[in-house]
Structure 1
């Protein structure tokens, strides 16, 4: 049987003998603390994208960009006019490499930003709001991180000012001579909510990437390499779009870095500053559909969300298809309900032509397809995917393995609670390569960049996020080839199961089993609990006659 696993984990390419400086989780400071080598000069190009709608402050933003100390041949600025009436004015003081694009279809910041990014080619994408004044070395402070950390996603430092009398000319001159920061005392200005998160997480070093929401669009950058792993801007969103793309960047392996030296003035209060409750009310429903983490956003169980918390990948062949229904049904009756299943098999070979219904070797595949045809938690695919992005967790489950009601919940708690990149479980009746594995998508996304030669994916994941072997006492896995597939698959809540076990013990104490029953239980235990299922199967094939006869005999003896 071919193991179900990430493609590269099976191919097993390798890394070079000299290990690359790879960030562990989000601990960026261990790789680069921001101190530049003497004489360092940037080599990566930067594309600044500004979405503007009826913006009176855009000329001030452009003037500050014109005065940047970043090499002009490495800096391009694209302004996307999101349908302003009258069209936006750029002003007379603008960057050397400036383009203006007018939105022809759609509306909103995410749509305009998407258009702008697609029109650029820079190694670093830097989205800036049209009400920002960037200090002289702002672009340089952002861009330097990408030169040392390929997955860098940086966030600048904003000072919110309520009034100003700037002109494009004065902004340009003040930014150029470095005096723009003298105009306001930052310690007296509104403190953004992200600052406390930085304090609590050692500037996100201890965040594991989970504080992705601090990566806001007012002045945030990311390497194009990481951005290209995402699905891009969600143009359906008209508020909170920067948080949604930040979540995608996290799942694509980004390293989030607050750059306190990348200073700006924000012209006016932020949207959340004065309308936090209203913004949260609008965003909550959209965020819950798209972002499984943090978990508090999804306030209801037994729901089907656009992006699941866990996606289970099961590979099916004509030879193993008779196990697929039981395997997947067990997944779908888990206590962890935030789950989708990807069934990988030769579905394209199933046609509607005339066939022998009972003799066709594809019959079991047809039955599997029909069984799950109307369940939209089950998706059919022809090939094992490289990634389940943007779902944060993936379980590779051989079709020959069955989970119990609580298996997925326990696996999720182990990998999530211990912040691991992968956990592989000792699986009854299966080899190491056939074992069940749960993967963290962000860890895998970052690891794949460093696959080269003969390295094993799990070794890279261990280096980047941590890897463990888990006990089957936690996973509660069974070998379906030894199981009774005729039994009804139902969800058993862990609390109910514990109570039933306690009741069984109490019943044994109060009413000791008869000698024959005690002997039967002892023999079943000695067989590794295989005898009882076998007896039940025989009883079922005989229409329940043996069990009925035994009950009558016990009644007579009583």
Structure 2
């Protein structure tokens, strides 16, 4: 199976439609509510597909229609828990038996080779999410147009090849397909959502390692405008009220400086040692400028039972103190082992206890990773007799994709996303005895102080270079050099005062 770097699926060479022999089964899942007339157009189009009919099943998830839907050529399953599009999609995919789940809206009309165009990609790799070319029409038979958002996104990203970690934003439920195994690994559909369930699912599929592939040959027509086209501002007002909790990647929805969010942007894993060392690391991780961080505190917490014991001579005292300290902190969870993945959070930082993070350490590391979409940033903290002490920032999507292949995980991540080593001191890490106290000024002022110190270092280096230049010009020289020397001396005096 081909290993794809970031979202650049251009290395794949799908067979031409009509020139290959399919083997995978596909389940077309259609969420439906009081739309019998639309289904009379949509389902017959599926019977005309060039993809072998024995490999196709059609599942209509009836979300409480009155009277219940009866659809020739499809298996109808009734939504029994919850309501809305999320509940219907989840009910349909749980009832499906195919290797691939193909989402389809009830008001779609497909070209006869639509399914075949989709399925070509799923025979090449098992981590593809294929997006059909949907055009909006007023009446069947019209050519139609893409939504403006889709058109601009495809044009600006080389059809998502350069979309990086944001490719999932084009994922919709109108006509997309995904391997059933990948869908279920990502957690299925959030049955509680009636709107934006496709965007939220796309985000989690991205964290599961998916590559998003828009196929212009997978032609389809949506009869009538979408809800976004008709009521865009109202749709955004509605969806953005909850998407900020679920998709930490949407940074503009998390502008509040002190809110607690359901899904952290970065999860920090710390293995407990002594009370003091561990507290230094955990507290510093929670006190940074990146406020939507959470900590997983790792230790043998199951040993903390309630039997009578000496409070001060307890052999498990360090663990008990840490459990006491963070028992009611909502951003700290307790685990027996380091999490294999931070999903659905996009980043996992593992850091040894006894090392303090600076105010801007988490934000700075993520900025560094995002510049080149790195999958792994290793941070050298110190070197001792046992080797290099380090922290690791892992991109969830990169490690999820690497897990689909055999071989060394870090090597696979480096191949498909890239990795780097950086200095801990340059990113604000410090051993506990040297760490700045967290009390007093807010995190943003500590970060600002760090930035100013960096600027001072740069200015001092510049002063040294200019001083050397003045020295060179100090020898007898023409009037032009004399004038330049005077200007440089004045600039140096000014920079020294500023520094």
Question: Matched residues in 2 for 1:99 and 1:376: separation?
Answer: 44
Matches within 5 A, 1:369-518: 369-429=323-383, 434-450=389-405, 452=406, 455-480=407-432, 482-483=433-434, 491=443, 492-497=445-450
- Specify which of 94, 97, 104 is matched with residue 80 of structure 2: 104
Structure number with larger C-alpha Rg: 1
Cα contact 2:375–2:418 (8 A) shared by 1: yes
Q: CA deviation at 1:456?
A: 2.8
- Specify which of 238, 247, 253 is matched with residue 194 of structure 2: 238
Cα contact 1:51–1:109 (8 A) shared by 2: yes
TM-score, normalising length: structure 2:
0.86
- Specify which of 64, 74, 80 is matched with residue 83 of structure 1: 64
- Other-structure match for 1:132: 108
| More relative contact order, 1 or 2 (CA 8 Å, 6+ apart) | 1
- Other-structure match for 2:235: 279
Matches within 5 A, 1:25-36: 25-30=6-11, 32-36=12-16
User: Gaps spanning 5+ residues in structure 2: where?
Assistant: 457-499
- Other-structure match for 2:463: none
Question: Matched residues in 1 for 2:255 and 2:107: separation?
Answer: 35
Question: Matched residues in 2 for 1:245 and 1:326: separation?
Answer: 36
TM-score, normalising length: structure 1:
0.77
Q: CA deviation at 1:105?
A: 2.4
Question: Matched residues in 1 for 2:452 and 2:161: separation?
Answer: 43
- Other-structure match for 1:219: 175
Question: Matched residues in 2 for 1:38 and 1:90: separation?
Answer: 29
Comparing 250-259 with 399-408, greater Cα deviation is found at 399-408
The verdict on how the C-alpha distance between 1:276 and 1:487 changes in structure 2, with shifts beyond 3 A counting, is closer
- Other-structure match for 1:61: 42
- The reply to whether residue 299 of structure 1 matches residue 265 of structure 2 is no
Cα contact 2:17–2:116 (8 A) shared by 1: no
Cα contact 1:51–1:129 (8 A) shared by 2: yes
Q: CA deviation at 1:190?
A: 5.6
Comparing 321-330 with 34-43, greater Cα deviation is found at 34-43
Q: CA deviation at 1:479?
A: 2.6
State the secondary structure of the residue aligned to 1:435: strand
State the secondary structure of the residue aligned to 1:244: helix
Q: What's the CA shift string for 1:316-369, capped at 9, x where partnerless?
A: 25xx44411111011111111110000111111112221111211211111111
The verdict on how the C-alpha distance between 1:251 and 1:435 changes in structure 2, with shifts beyond 3 A counting, is same
Q: What is the aligned residue count?
A: 453
Question: Matched residues in 1 for 2:454 and 2:415: separation?
Answer: 42
Cα contact 2:200–2:246 (8 A) shared by 1: yes
Question: Matched residues in 2 for 1:220 and 1:73: separation?
Answer: 21
User: Gaps spanning 5+ residues in structure 1: where?
Assistant: 1-19, 165-182, 504-558
- The reply to whether residue 185 of structure 1 matches residue 161 of structure 2 is no
Question: Matched residues in 2 for 1:185 and 1:429: separation?
Answer: 65
State the secondary structure of the residue aligned to 1:42: coil
State the secondary structure of the residue aligned to 1:246: helix
